[in-house]
Amino acid sequence: MYINASVQLSNQTLYKNGVKMVDWPEQEELKSLFKKRQTVYPKFYKMDNLCKLGILSSELLLEGLELEAIEPEQRSLVIQNAHASLDTDQRHQSSISNPKEYFPSPAVFVYTLSNIVLGEMAIRYNFKGENACTSHRELDIEKLIVDTSILVEEGTQTCMAGWLNFYNDKYDAILFLIETTKRGMALPFSIDNLTELIHK
Residue 119 in 3-state DSSP? helix
The predicted structure's pLDDT at residue 170: 83
Residue 106, pLDDT score: 58
Q: Distance between CA atoms of 61 and 59, rounded to whole angstroms?
A: 6
Continuous segment of H or E residues that includes residue 168 = none
Question: What domain count does the chain have?
Answer: 1
Three-state DSSP state, 137: coil
Distance, CA of 178 to CA of 159 (rounded, Å):
5
Q: What is the CATH number of the domain that holds 163?
A: 3.40.47.10
Q: Give burial (CB, 10 Å; 0-12/13-18/19+) of 176.
A: buried
- Check if the beta carbon of residue 18 is closer than 8 Å to that of residue 196: yes
- CA–CA separation, 38 and 156 (whole Å): 31
For residue 150, give every residue at least 6 positions away whose Cβ sits within 8 Å of its Cβ, in sequence order, or none. Answer: none
CA 163 to chain centroid: 6
Q: pLDDT tens per residue, the chain (200 residues)?
A: 999 999 998 877 888 998 888 765 555 577 777 777 778 788 878 888 888 999 999 999 999 899 999 999 999 999 999 866 656 655 656 666 667 666 666 555 455 566 788 889 999 999 999 998 888 788 999 999 999 999 999 999 999 999 999 888 788 899 999 999 999 889 999 999 999 998 76
In which domain, by residue range, is 161 found?
2-196
Which of 1, 59, 3 is CA-nearest to residue 30? 59
Q: Report in angstroms the alpha-carbon separations of 190 from 1, 57, 102, 138, 193.
A: 9, 22, 50, 18, 5
